[in-house]
Structure 1
Amino acid sequence: MLQVLAAIISVQFGSAVARTLFDDLSAAGITFLRLAIAAVVFTVIARPRLRTWSKSAWKAAILLGVVMAGMNLIFYLSLRTVPLGLAVTVEFLGPLLLAVVQSRRVAEFLWALLAGGGVILLGLDVSTGAPVEGLLLAFLAGLCWAGYIVFSARLGAIVPGTGGLAVALTVAAVVVAPFGAGQIGDVIEKPSLLVGAVTVALLSSVISYGLEINALRRIPTRVFGILMSLEPAAAAIAGLIVLRQRLGRVELLALVLVTVASLGAALGKRSATTQVEAAHAEK
């Protein structure tokens, strides 16, 4: 559990640090550097044996890489105009909708409505200062996040270890390169920017992914899902500490609604899983 909490804190503070680099490197530039650096680190660590890969493994890695590129780039684009805590709150609708689609239970549908109500509050409250375009980008990033969950599980079932992740990150960096590679020229004149980019890559990709992988080997996925419900709150705290972004009452209410909805969906999934396991045990 501590590993999951550490991963959540790591990725959100990494996003906050990334936001501080937008003026020099742009959202696309820091996205490219983050993915490229993380790809190099994971490749050195995992040393994937690509010659033994099947066509299905390559397909899964490419699909995951494309989704990761969209998830990271679009999310960072949303951060240009939307506070970190709000962006993650809206983005979290993606995994929540995935849970609804996969379960098709009435309870999950009601939790999704609760979360949707929170996001609607954001759109109706003009005092938040968050443009609708930025909120839509965060939501689109959330849909990519849902795809990341699906394709990551698919790749993990085919390729053991972190070798698949190394290839997926490389694909993601290649996809983002046309948008961000031309934005990183200031790194040569300001080496401190590279330090910042490495920090973002380590916090948001290397450390967080490593912790999550190890945690999932020790705790049930349902517990992992419950802990992930803390993402919006962690993002709000990181935004406050690093970026001095304070959330208003409506924004905090939306954050609470989405967090409660996610937690409720995760607990409901846990309850359903327990009932199924009990039924099998009786047989």
Structure 2
Amino acid sequence: MLQVLAAIVSVQLGSAVARTLFDDLGAAGVTFLRLAIAAVVFALIARPRLRTWSKPAWKAAVLLGVVMAGMNLIFYMALRTVPLGLAVTVEFLGPLLLAVVQSRRVAEFLWALLAGGGVILLGLDATSGAPVEGLLLAFLAGLCWAGYIVFSARLGAIVPGTGGLAVALTVAAVVVAPFGAVQITKIPENPALLLGATAVALLSSVISYGLEINALRTIPTRVFGILMSLEPAAAAIAGLIVLGQRLGRIEILALVLVTVASLGATLGRRAAQVAPAHAEK
């Protein structure tokens, strides 16, 4: 659980930093640099033995890479017009749907419904000013996020360590390259942009993905999906601190509902695990 929480803080801080680079590098340019730099870092750390990989391992890595490309690129496109906290809240519809589909306990389903109510509340808020196009992009990114949860767990079960991530990130960078490679021409004039992109890669990919893929080896994907509902609250805080983005009362209420649902689902699962243990004694 601590690994998931650390990943949440890291990725949202990275998203806030990424938004500050859009004017110079564009959303696609930042996405490409983030994925490419992260791929190089993971390759140097993990040094995956690709010759020993099975066909299912390659398939899982490619699928994860394609999903990661869509998740990151579409989400950054949404961030161009939608505040970070609001974008992540709408994006959470993806993991929320995954949690509902995979839910086996009534309590988990009810907590997921509460989180869904918070997201719906945002859609009814006419004062947010976020364009429909941006919200739709955030939702599409959320569907990719659900796919990331599934394929990341599958890859982590087949390939030990973080070697699988190195390949998946390389695939993702190749997929995004046609959109982002042409937008990084300002780097030679302003090398500091590369430092910013490196910070984004470390915060949003290297640290967060490394923590998440390890966490997914020990917890079910449906629980991981509900835990990720803490993302909106972390995003709102990062958006306020780094970008000066303030949310309205209805938006804050929605974030609270989503966060309460996440905590309730987590605590409920823990209580369910502890009860049988005491009964056996």
Please confirm whether the aligned pair reaches a TM-score higher than 0.5, indicating the same fold. yes
TM-score w.r.t. length of structure 1:
0.89
Deviations 1:117-147 (A, max 9, x none): 2222222222111112211211211111111
Equivalent residue letter for 1:260: V
- Over aligned residue pairs, what C-alpha RMSD do you find? 2.5
CA contact (8 A) 1:92 1:258 kept: no
Deviations 1:187-212 (A, max 9, x none): 12111111110010011111223344
User: Which region of structure 1 is more displaced relative to structure 2, 220-229 or 85-94?
Assistant: 220-229
Deviations 1:143-190 (A, max 9, x none): 111111110111111111111010000000011111111111111211
1:7-86 residue pairs with structure 2 within 5 A? 7-86=7-86
Aligned residues: 280
CA contact (8 A) 1:69 1:176 kept: yes
1:104-253 residue pairs with structure 2 within 5 A? 104-213=104-213, 228-253=228-253
TM-score w.r.t. length of structure 2:
0.90
CA contact (8 A) 2:156 2:213 kept: no
Structure 1, unaligned stretches of length 5 or more? none
In structure 1, C-alpha distance between the alignment counterparts of 2:171 and 2:39, rounded to whole Å: 9
In structure 2, C-alpha distance between the alignment counterparts of 1:39 and 1:195, rounded to whole Å: 16
CA contact (8 A) 2:99 2:226 kept: no
User: Which region of structure 1 is more displaced relative to structure 2, 5-14 or 143-152?
Assistant: 5-14
CA contact (8 A) 2:95 2:226 kept: no
Equivalent residue letter for 1:125: D
Distance change >3 Å, CA 197–CA 178, structure 1 → 2: same
In structure 2, C-alpha distance between the alignment counterparts of 1:67 and 1:51, rounded to whole Å: 24
In structure 2, C-alpha distance between the alignment counterparts of 1:108 and 1:2, rounded to whole Å: 20
Deviations 1:78-103 (A, max 9, x none): 11111111111111222122111112
SS at match of 1:25: helix
CA displacement at 1:37 relative to structure 2 = 0.3
User: Which region of structure 1 is more displaced relative to structure 2, 72-81 or 263-272?
Assistant: 263-272
Equivalent residue letter for 2:91: E
CA displacement at 1:106 relative to structure 2 = 3.7
CA contact (8 A) 2:227 2:266 kept: no
Q: Which residue of 2 aligns with 1:102?
A: 102
Distance change >3 Å, CA 31–CA 66, structure 1 → 2: same
Equivalent residue letter for 2:210: G
Equivalent residue letter for 1:119: V
SS at match of 2:181: helix
CA displacement at 1:262 relative to structure 2 = 2.7
